[in-house]
Amino acid sequence: MSEPTVWRKENGVSTPATPSMAVYSEAMNKFTKAATTFMDHVHLLNEARDAFQMAMTASASLRNSLDSGDQALRSLMTQMEQVVNTHLEDVPLEKRKPEAPKAEALKVEAIRTNRDSTVPGGKYLP
């Protein structure tokens, strides 16, 4: 922030007043104080820059590692899907297992939902 300019009127015309020694001294003291404070903390700028660079390097490395892992997982999943599809194509339709009856699955689910730990006949469900 700069100090406001002092104006003085001479013959009806405004002209800037000559700065006094007090204004000069005050400005020099402010500058010296601000510059000294800045210099006391300038090392923090270097530390911040170094820490930022380390974080960016670690982030890039982590991102590359995660991307590689994702690619490996996708590849494995594709291979598994191919094996399953190939296996299902090789098994004749009449030899495939029928799906589990849904009514029985719903009954077990209903028992577990109701927190009933036994079914008729005394069998214990965890």
CA angle 70–76–82, rounded 5-degree value: 135
Higher pLDDT, 57 or 113: 57
Question: Running DSSP on this structure, what letter comes out for residue 124?
Answer: B
Residue 88: domain span: 19-98
Residues 82-94: what's their mean pLDDT?
79
Per-residue pLDDT band for 15 (boundaries 50, 70, 90) equals low
pLDDT of 124: 46
Q: Number of folded domains in the chain?
A: 1
- What separation in angstroms does the CA of 79 have from each of 72, 73, 82, 84? 11, 10, 5, 9
- Do the domain assignments include residue 28? yes
Tell me the pLDDT tens digit for each residue of 94-118.
665 656 555 555 554 555 455 544 4
Candidates 99, 121, 123; CA nearest to 112 is 123
